[in-house]
Amino acid sequence: MKLWGGRFQKATDKKVDDFNSSIRFDSRMYKQDIDGSIAHAKMLGKQNIIPAADSELIVKALGEILDDIENGNVEFEIDAEDIHMNIEKLLTQRIGDAGKRLHTARSRNDQVALDIRMYLIDEIANIKDMLKQLLTALITLAENNLDTVMPGYTHMQKAQPITLAHHLMAYFEMLKRDLGRLDDCKKRMSSMPLGSGALAGTTYPLDREFVAKELGFDSITQNSLDGVSDRDFAIELASGLSIIMMHLSRFCEELILWNTNEFSFIEMDDAFSTGSSIMPQKKNPDVAELIRGKAGRVYGNLMALLTVMKGLPLAYNKDMQEDKESIFDSVDTIKLCLPVFTGMISTMKINSRKMRIGAGLGFTNATDAADYLVKKGMPFRNAHEVIGKLVFYCIQNDKALEDLSLQEYKGFSEVFEDDVYEAISLNTCVSCRNIPGGPAKEAVLACIELNKKFLG
């Protein structure tokens, strides 16, 4: 008989049991469910809501059930619907009527709201650790490539020379913000909903602050309706994970381009590449491509959560059972992607010679040529026009700016002198941009040291 079956005169249809059950995906919250129940049982005993002996027996039995689950000695039942009722059923089977007292002053509505918050708080910690490992790998790569000059792009057109270290640290800053978003999300998630009951709290004299402290929450929820019907925290986490995947996807897109024969800026390690079943020469960046593809999956989960919640009246509705598969899948996907991405970038070969050659093509020093004229006293807009005409001249004559003779330069402006060649060299273009946040070696080193302190 169902734990809630007293009002019913007919057994649930088997198809409805299968349809209604969530144990196949919420069983992963078994530890959080047991930890929450232990805290609840302790509080019930402390408040004399149930006998102290029953409270102690419940706590002891729940600890034994947790050990049995972790040792693979428990098989969950679909008929018991979810992780909460599976554990309560196991408890009652083991200790009888004392186990039936556990659910006093509690609903599955506030119980599941508690469990999923606890579970996601634990997963945020895991994801943060993985992000920090990736950030550490980026710093190591950047330190090894402070002098690796490469082209910077806008509109996928060569723009100005930078260094690979500077490029990598741009992604560091993005992922650093992602860490901050996870921290912010956790702050709002760390509010304990148990005690909200089904929707209207309870007449029992609960000590909600005690339970919150036992479970490590920062606060308790302040409205029982909101406590059971809020899933903002899951949507916020899904959004944060989507942004992480967007950053990884952008990076993967560049790595895929750089890995092509046309760029040849990098080569993926054999351990992070795959081959073709028909073309023996192929070495495909499948890891990067798959991470890029999985970003769409995580975005879809965010949209699913938003769509599930958008039309729900207060308070709990069964629709909200659909929150778990979406957020769990996003968590799993991120945890799958981060370590493999870290391994991929840590092992790839960097072709610094090709990068430097690439920086020397496409007139990436044109802005510096214009700045040279400005420093000689010419207004910037005039300088911009002069260099634009010079670039067009170079294109017509298949030359680079550094290939032009001083006489050719003077044909466009008498301001040019021999020092123009030093001013437009790639090393000068990079090293002179030494303001905070710039690509010069000193500026990037300062950024790296600052972020080493951030990582601790």
- Residue-wise pLDDT for 24-57, tens only, equals 889 999 999 999 999 999 999 999 999 999 999 9
Name the H helices within 190-315.
208-215, 224-229, 232-258, 286-309
pLDDT of res. 5: 63
pLDDT of res. 207: 98
Phi, psi at residue 149, to the nearest 5°?
A: -80, 135
Strands 219-220 and 191-192, by their bridges, are parallel
* Tokens linked to 14: 């088997």
> Residue 149 is inside which H or E element, if any?
strand 149-154
Count the residues in the chain: 456
Instruction: Please tell me the distance from the alpha carbon of residue 125 to that of residue 292, in angstroms, as a whole number.
Output: 24
Out of 1.50.10.20, 1.10.3660.10, 1.10.40.30, 2.30.110.10, which CATH number does the structure's domain 362-455 have?
1.10.40.30
User: What is the residue type of 144?
Assistant: N
Q: Locate CATH 1.20.200.10 in the chain.
A: 109-357
Catalytic residue check, 155: yes
Residues in the chain, pLDDT under 50: none
Q: Identify the active-site residue in 276, 277, 352, 425.
A: 276
Q: Identify the active-site residue in 21, 155, 239, 326.
A: 155
Q: Locate CATH 1.10.40.30 in the chain.
A: 362-455
Q: Locate CATH 1.10.275.10 in the chain.
A: 7-104
pLDDT of res. 3: 60
Give me the CATH topology for the region 7-104: Fumarase C; Chain B, domain 1 (1.10.275)
Domain 109-357 has CATH 1.20.200.10: yes
User: What is the residue type of 218?
Assistant: D
The structure's pTM equals 0.94
pLDDT digit string (tens) for 118-177?
A: 999 999 999 999 999 999 999 999 999 999 999 999 999 999 999 999 999 999 999 999
Catalytic residue check, 276: yes
| Residue 81, phi-psi category: left (phi > 0), alpha (psi -120 to 50), beta (remainder) | left
